[in-house]
Structure 1
């Protein structure tokens, strides 16, 4: 009996430990979010499917150089005067005939249209690869922004919690002083009002954090029932040096997939022009067939007739375009227009990239200066608030003045963390445009 109890205790302890281990919540780092989103994000999956379709088209176009092969079989029954389809004799009787054959043809020359189509489809595969990379970059930037917003909201919650704790203590002191008759009731109600305001601010900050976590979960395609918790870094560092915007742009123009995609689009349009011009040139095709048949007008049996009627054919076909109602001319003109449009689209993409870099650089520079000023203001406001608390405890400061001091400190602290995380965001953007990984 004792042995059974001991064994039961060991098993319960073992399974209890295993369950405790499996229930540990995962904390998502920024790198975890990047890796997971690349596999699960819907927009990335969509562009991958488009790339897969482009690869299928590319493989199919390479097969256009190969000959085709088709088989045929027919059974015919005719009455009266007719031509025997097997012997080609004129007969006046019922004819029951069977025909079988294999046909093949291959295009030998078509104005290089096949080769140009293959090259164009390869360019489309490369372009779709750039689209995939661009989608990944967009998701990475969105995740970075959402992640930093969560860090910002989390620090805002800490400030709100500290303010609420401080205001609750102030309410307790104010109540004691009111009971002792050393302050007016208005001072007590001011303390109550500030505590209620700080509680409201805490709830609002917690709600903002929940909303931002939802944004990040949706970027990761996590369901609403899945628990999600990010790993908060010990310290989010801001870079000391902001690079030159021209330096960033020169690197980005050679690295960013949206620029590569636009450049490839120009090449795709140029190949479309080559394909259109190919319609002006003649087409040379080779064809061949094997066939045989059976007819009841001959006295031989089925297998003997198949051997007797066996025939082979080989032929060359040359098609020379003379006039097709200006269809080729219109295709060539439209292809030239497409090239001009693709070049304009490339210029637009380059302008948009420079605008993004210019905006990020200006925001990084401004937030860096703002952060320095905000840090000084926060430290001064914090020191002033600490002194105000001490004066309030000694009865040398009214509740209203204490509330003003606390609000000044809160605003200064909020301004600092806002400038801090904006600076991290925009400096990371500048680093990303230079081909570096985002690290917080």
Structure 2
């Protein structure tokens, strides 16, 4: 019974896993999975972890350093005993032990500015992570909608094949009865071959797009994968004013915040460069002892007798640095100006993206209304042509023209519908809203 129960559990688990694999992925599923697994995002998170480590290390720079040393020496001939500092002419074996501590009391506020700069770098890397997630989100959205477009293209191509095959069957019957010419059969056979080719192309395009989408999700290309088919709006959607969208984007997009933060980082870097003109004050202290074979005392006694302490204060005053400090200050000033230019350029690029998405959304929505009207009218005309063809009042060539007109209108409608969906989602994104279908 235990074995039977175990087998049932295994079968249930495998069945559950298979059902999960076969479940169609929504756009929200794809975005969430990509954010959790995409390599670019993980690299950005690793860079942020490094910034955290650098920030922590810089805070410890305020503390004293402490080190210990142990040295074993052997000298032969005339030399100075390293423990007694006497001239001796013999083989000298000596042991030196010591600890040293040092702390910087003042260095032109360099340490504090380094801590401040590294803290800003941590925040900037957080923005970089958010920017990477945004880029992946946009890429997944575009790839997903393109996959939907190709998927609907398969349906359109299958309908075209079915329609052409039906017409060809009917025309062959009429040809056998002698009511149509052979050229009509040949034209329909050519049309059917073209429609079959278009169907193969549509299926290949869809499969390739699924591979592209799975690569963004960092999924194994061999794994089964299918996307859900949401219902896209066919009516007019309210598109906000481009100025309102840009104001929201400029206040929330991480690339804008990171570019502005770079100027603050460079300003702190200027303060660090100026510290090179100021003196550095350090305090040091040490404990030392040692043993030498030139003294007639045992090891423990010598360690006690030779024990001494030292402490001191050092001041390093820069007088001439061969233009290094001056160059560092000038470079920092240039870096500040460059960061300002970068921030301005980033803002302009964002406005261009928002303006482009807004224009495309408006154009796609207007085009979708026209394409929908064209699709409906051409479909109605095609349906009427089918009825006329069945009654024998319309020849096959005229029917083909009507069919191709309808298929072309259907293709244009699909293009505008998915373009409108894509650019509307982009506008939602720039307004800080969740992308969802």
Q: Same fold (TM over 0.5)?
A: yes
Computed over aligned residues only, the root mean square deviation of the Cα atoms, in angstroms, reads 2.1
* Cα-to-partner distance string for 1:265-290 (whole Å, 9 max, x where unaligned): 11111111111001111000010100
1:83 and 2:83 correspond: no
Aligned match of 1:347: 344
1:23 and 2:54 correspond: no
Change (3 A) 1:86 1:41: same
Change (3 A) 1:239 1:437: farther
* Cα-to-partner distance string for 1:205-249 (whole Å, 9 max, x where unaligned): 111111111110111111222111112224456662101111011
Change (3 A) 1:238 1:375: closer
In the alignment, the residues of structure 2 paired with residue 167 and residue 107 of structure 1 have an alpha-carbon distance, to the nearest angstrom, of: 87
In the alignment, the residues of structure 1 paired with residue 12 and residue 298 of structure 2 have an alpha-carbon distance, to the nearest angstrom, of: 85
**320-329 or 226-235, which deviates more:** 226-235
1:433 and 2:426 correspond: no
Aligned match of 2:194: 197
Change (3 A) 1:286 1:364: same
Aligned match of 2:293: 296
* Cα-to-partner distance string for 1:384-407 (whole Å, 9 max, x where unaligned): 000000000111101111111011
Q: How does 1:256-295 map to 2 (within 5 A)?
A: 256-295=253-292
CA contact (8 A) 1:97 1:294 kept: yes
Change (3 A) 1:160 1:292: same
In the alignment, the residues of structure 2 paired with residue 129 and residue 11 of structure 1 have an alpha-carbon distance, to the nearest angstrom, of: 47
CA contact (8 A) 1:40 1:220 kept: yes
Change (3 A) 1:14 1:352: closer
* Cα-to-partner distance string for 1:111-150 (whole Å, 9 max, x where unaligned): 0111111111111111111111111111110100011111
Aligned match of 2:154: 157
* Cα-to-partner distance string for 1:364-418 (whole Å, 9 max, x where unaligned): 0001110111111111001000000000011110111111101111111111111
* Cα-to-partner distance string for 1:180-205 (whole Å, 9 max, x where unaligned): 11111111212212222211111111
Paired residues in the alignment total 435
SS in 2 for 1:206: helix
1:207 and 2:204 correspond: yes
In the alignment, the residues of structure 2 paired with residue 376 and residue 344 of structure 1 have an alpha-carbon distance, to the nearest angstrom, of: 48
TM-aligned CA deviation for residue 96 of structure 1: 2.5
In the alignment, the residues of structure 2 paired with residue 10 and residue 60 of structure 1 have an alpha-carbon distance, to the nearest angstrom, of: 55
TM-score normalised by L of structure 1 = 0.94
Structure 1 unpaired stretches of 5+: none
CA contact (8 A) 1:130 1:257 kept: yes
Aligned match of 1:421: 418
In the alignment, the residues of structure 2 paired with residue 228 and residue 161 of structure 1 have an alpha-carbon distance, to the nearest angstrom, of: 21
TM-aligned CA deviation for residue 85 of structure 1: 2.1
Structure 2 unpaired stretches of 5+: none
Aligned match of 1:178: 175
Change (3 A) 1:298 1:154: same
Change (3 A) 1:108 1:11: closer
SS in 2 for 1:229: coil
CA contact (8 A) 1:127 1:261 kept: yes
CA contact (8 A) 1:289 1:314 kept: yes
In the alignment, the residues of structure 2 paired with residue 338 and residue 321 of structure 1 have an alpha-carbon distance, to the nearest angstrom, of: 24
Aligned match of 2:323: 326
TM-aligned CA deviation for residue 86 of structure 1: 1.8
